[in-house]
Amino acid sequence: MAHLLIFGLGYTAKRVAARMEAAGWRVEATGRDGSLDFADEAAVLEAIRRSTHVLSSVPPARDGTEPVLDAHEAAICGKQLFYLSSTGVYGDTGGAWVDESAPTGTGRRTSRAKADARWLEMGARVFRLPGIYGPGRSALDRVASGKAHRIDLPGQVFSRVHVEDIASGVALAMERDAPPGAYNLGDDLPTSQNAVIEHACALLGVEPPPLLSLDEAGLSEMAKGFYAENRRVANGKAKRVLGWRPRFPTFREGLASLL
């Protein structure tokens, strides 16, 4: 029986776990809600031994190290490997399209780019993810809580993806023994954050927040960094190789499902 070990049972990995369990796979995981303690080396090594597939959603540490590979690279070698990465590895493209052949490591996510490269060298399927949204984490929630912003940055666009579409893409790669390599999982309509917030406001029947400059918005440095890069992420490879089709091809379908 296929046996999946997940490092880091977070928001997205939980959806993958649920999907694979529904398909009859055995799933173990580390993390807050997982069955394993990452610090219990003996237990983790035994779980690795039992596993056929390993998925990591653990980001690089603040010092740039890669926790899972630094601790267990030798042990997981030879397993079917999967890693949740970020489209932030591509850096700023001035709004141009990027696919998996684009260079990485040129933006602010240098640690993520190094981790991405290490997993690729291990023969993993690396899923590069843009802005993730879903239940409890969407523009609807930000508008309802009064935390939504509209920033005056003409021409600024982002890609995004519903969490269930990530889970379906990862599941397809696992079930179909997809070739190792990088896969972008993003929706079909990169667009501005303002457009998404405005649509969420329309769905909720409220007025959009005022249009502010980046400085006026009082954003954290991390949030400002989000606006420092501008790109459109192409998802054609995932469609061709995995047979993946997003259930929520644009933010409109995604937000409607969450409403």
* pLDDT value for 223: 76
Q: How far is CA 198 from CA 137, 193, 231, in A?
A: 16, 9, 20
Cβ partners under 8 Å of residue 38, min gap 6: 7, 30, 31, 44, 67, 71
Radius of gyration, alpha carbons of the chain: 19
d(CA 38, CA 200): 39
Contact yes or no for 164/224 (Cβ under 8 A): no
Domain residue limits at 80:
3-258
d(CA 125, CA 108): 23
How many domains is the chain partitioned into structurally?
1
d(CA 217, CA 199): 20
d(CA 11, CA 32): 11
In the chain, the N- to C-terminal Cα span, in Å, equals 38
Cβ partners under 8 Å of residue 196, min gap 6: 139, 160, 251, 255
Name the residue with tokens 């993993």. Answer: 124
* pLDDT value for 222: 75
d(CA 125, CA 140): 32
Contact yes or no for 36/42 (Cβ under 8 A): no
Q: What is the CATH number of the domain that holds 126?
A: 3.40.50.720
Secondary structure tally for the chain: helices H, strands E = 10, 12
Q: For residue 80, which amino acid is it?
A: Q
pTM comes to 0.96
Q: Is 5 helix (H, G, I), strand (E, B) or coil?
A: strand
Nearest to 8 by CA among 41, 53, 55, 57: 57
The angle formed by the CA atoms of residues 7, 134 and 88, to the nearest 5 degrees, is: 60
What tens-digit pLDDT sequence spans the chain (259 residues)? 899 999 999 999 999 999 999 999 999 999 887 889 999 999 999 999 999 999 999 999 988 899 999 999 999 999 999 999 999 999 999 999 999 999 998 877 889 999 999 999 999 999 999 999 999 999 999 999 999 999 998 889 999 999 999 999 999 999 999 999 999 999 999 999 999 999 999 999 999 999 998 888 787 877 777 788 899 999 999 999 999 999 999 999 999 999 9
Nearest to 89 by CA among 198, 222, 229, 191: 229
Structure tokens at 22: 């529904």
